[in-house]
Every structure is written in C-alpha cells, then in structure tokens.
C-alpha cells in the first residue's frame, strides 16, 4: 500500500512553523545570552570600582597615619583641651585604635576624588548628554554643601554643644573624657550635618525622576518645618540657640530645594 504524499502546502506549512519556532528559540537564547553578558560586564566594572577605591583608601591611610595623624589628633582634641580638660584613655589599645579610626576617616576623605571618579566612570554610560553636564555641576554643589554643613556644625553648633554639656556637668562630677568616645561623638555629631545639607540635591534628584514636584513640596511646607525642628531638637542640646542654629539653615535649604524643583523638569517629561 502506497503512502499518501503530503501536499506542498502541508509540507511548507510544517516547515514554516518549525522555522518560526527555531528562530524564536534562537532569539530567546540570544537575548538571554546578551543579558547575561551585560550583567557580567556590569559586575566586572563594579568590581574594578571597588578594587581601585579600596587601593586608594589603603594608600591614603598609610600616608595619613605616618605623616599627619598627630597633627589631626591635636586639632580634634583642641576644643576640650582649650577648656582645661585632659583627654584620657581607659584601655591599653584605645589610643592606638582611635588613631587608626581617625586615619581611616581621613583616608576616605583624601581618597574621595579617586572614589568619585570611579563611580562617575561606572554610571556615565547610563546618562544622557544633558544629564552628564548636570551631574558634573551637581557633584560640585553637593561637595560644597557637605563641606559647608560640616564647617557650620563645627563652628556654630558643636562648640555650643560642648559648652552646654560641660556646664551641665559642672559641680556634679569631674570630666574625664575617653579619647575614643570623644572622637566618636565628634564625628557622630558633625557628619549628619554634612549629610543634612544635601537636602537641595536630594530634592532635585527626586524631582528629576518624577517622585516630587514644586506643587507637592510647597503643599507640605508646614509639615516639613515641623519635622525639621523636631529633628533639630533631637540632634542638638536642649537649648533654643542650638535648635535654631540647625533648624533655620535647614528651612532655608528646603526653600532653595523647592525653588530648584520649580525650574526642574522630570526626566520622563523630556522624552
């Protein structure tokens, strides 16, 4: 008995379906391979950023520790020693560990140009040309605001806080300040100010990606002012001068950020 031959239409139809399936599978495998390769490239680039940044911090650490650590320690404990109070240490390794801690913080600051440059190289391919120019300006603004916040805190708020705490303990006990706790208190006090002064930059970024806008920020102004003074009351000694010294600049920074948001367009609105 002879087999019934398939018609050309049936044969071509089956062949066409198989070709489509094969092409779809090939496209899927190619896309998956491309995603995997892209992810691998990003991970390798990220590893390069971390390795170079770590090397820069380690090199800066040794330079700071062997060339400038004593000068840094003298400058840091000056506000206490100028008030006639000696700094002590209560454990054999406390002074050495404190020097290491201070040298590491200084090393990160010294190596920050290298770290920032590596981060810039990592994120630059994902930015539009206009965003690259804006990022460069934003970087210098953020750096200036951070330095301004740290200097403002040290000059206007921290010294007031030191005087307040010393007066609060006067005639109650003899101050014997541990070097490790003092250094931790100092950086725990001034670094949040540097971060808080990034508020206009943060508001620009949230407006840029579409999370906020000027109308929203203006409508929440009274709640933000209340929140700022609550945070100021937590971060500063319980006196009106210190709270105003932090609260008023933060309100001004919020208003600056709101005005920046007014002239900033969301990224999606430009596309």
pLDDT in tens, 137-154: 888 888 888 888 888 888
19 within a domain of the structure (yes/no):
no
One domain, residues 145 and 269: yes
Whole-number pLDDT of residue 9: 47
One domain, residues 103 and 227: no
Question: 2: phi > 0 → left, psi -120 to 50 → alpha, else beta; which?
Answer: beta
Q: Is the pTM of this model over 0.75?
A: no
201 within a domain of the structure (yes/no):
yes
102 within a domain of the structure (yes/no):
yes
One domain, residues 96 and 158: no
One domain, residues 245 and 187: yes
One domain, residues 116 and 160: no
One domain, residues 173 and 144: yes
159: exposed, middle or buried (Cβ count in 10 Å: 0-12, 13-18, 19+): middle
One domain, residues 118 and 135: no
Contact 65, 157 (CB under 8 A): no
81 contacts: CB under 8 Å, gap ≥ 6:
87
181 within a domain of the structure (yes/no):
yes
Residue 53 to residue 5: CA distance in whole angstroms: 71
- Neighbouring CB atoms inside 10 A of 152's CB total 18
Residue 111 lies in domain: 29-126
One domain, residues 95 and 163: no
Residue 184 to residue 181: CA distance in whole angstroms: 5
Cα Dmax for the chain: 118
Single out the residue in 94, 126, 158 at which a domain terminates. 126
Query: Which stretches of the chain score pLDDT less than 50?
Result: 1-3, 8-11, 14, 21
One domain, residues 159 and 43: no
Q: What tokens does 225 get?
A: 């002012």
23 within a domain of the structure (yes/no):
no
Q: How many domains does the chain have?
A: 2
38 within a domain of the structure (yes/no):
yes
Residue 2 to residue 222: CA distance in whole angstroms: 91
Buried b (16+ CB within 10 A) or exposed e, 184-196: ebbeebbebbbeb
Closest-CA residue to 177 (of 189, 188, 165, 187): 165
One domain, residues 141 and 105: no
Cα 190 to chain centroid, rounded: 15
What angle separates helix 129-152 from helix 94-123, to the nearest 10 degrees?
160
One domain, residues 121 and 133: no
Single out the residue in 96, 126, 156 at which a domain terminates. 126
Phi and psi, residue 177, nearest 5°: -90, 125
One domain, residues 194 and 112: no
7 within a domain of the structure (yes/no):
no
Whole-number pLDDT of residue 52: 92
Residue 161 to residue 167: CA distance in whole angstroms: 10
Phi and psi, residue 242, nearest 5°: -65, -40
Single out the residue in 126, 141, 162 at which a domain terminates. 126
Q: What tokens does 101 get?
A: 């801690």
CA terminus-to-terminus distance, the chain: 68
12 within a domain of the structure (yes/no):
no
């Amino acid at each position: 008995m002879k087999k019934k031959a398939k018609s050309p239409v049936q044969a071509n139809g089956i062949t066409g379906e198989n070709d489509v399936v094969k092409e779809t599978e090939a496209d899927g495998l190619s896309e998956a391979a491309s995603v995997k390769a892209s992810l691998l490239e990003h991970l390798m680039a990220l590893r390069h950023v971390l390795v170079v940044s770590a090397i820069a911090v380690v090199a800066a650490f040794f330079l700071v520790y062997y060339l400038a650590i004593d000068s840094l320690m003298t400058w840091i404990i000056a506000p206490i020693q100028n008030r006639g109070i000696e700094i002590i240490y209560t454990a054999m390794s406390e002074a050495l560990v404190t020097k290491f801690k201070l040298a590491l913080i200084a090393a990160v600051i010294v190596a920050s140009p290298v770290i920032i440059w590596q981060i810039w190289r990592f994120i630059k391919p994902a930015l539009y040309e206009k965003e690259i120019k804006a990022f460069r300006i934003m970087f210098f603004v953020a750096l200036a605001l951070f330095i301004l916040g740290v200097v403002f805190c040290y000059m206007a708020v921290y010294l007031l806080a030191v005087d307040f705490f010393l007066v609060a303990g006067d005639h109650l006990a003899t101050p014997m300040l541990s070097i490790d706790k003092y250094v931790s208190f100092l950086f725990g006090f001034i670094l949040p100010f540097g971060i808080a002064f990034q508020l206009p930059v943060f508001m620009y970024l949230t407006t840029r990606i579409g999370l906020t806008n000027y109308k929203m920020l203006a409508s929440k102004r009274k709640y933000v002012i209340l929140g700022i003074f609550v945070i100021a009351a937590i971060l500063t000694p319980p006196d009106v001068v210190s709270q105003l010294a932090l609260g008023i600049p933060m309100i001004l920074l919020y208003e600056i950020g709101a005005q920046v948001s007014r002239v900033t367009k969301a990224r999606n609105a430009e596309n």
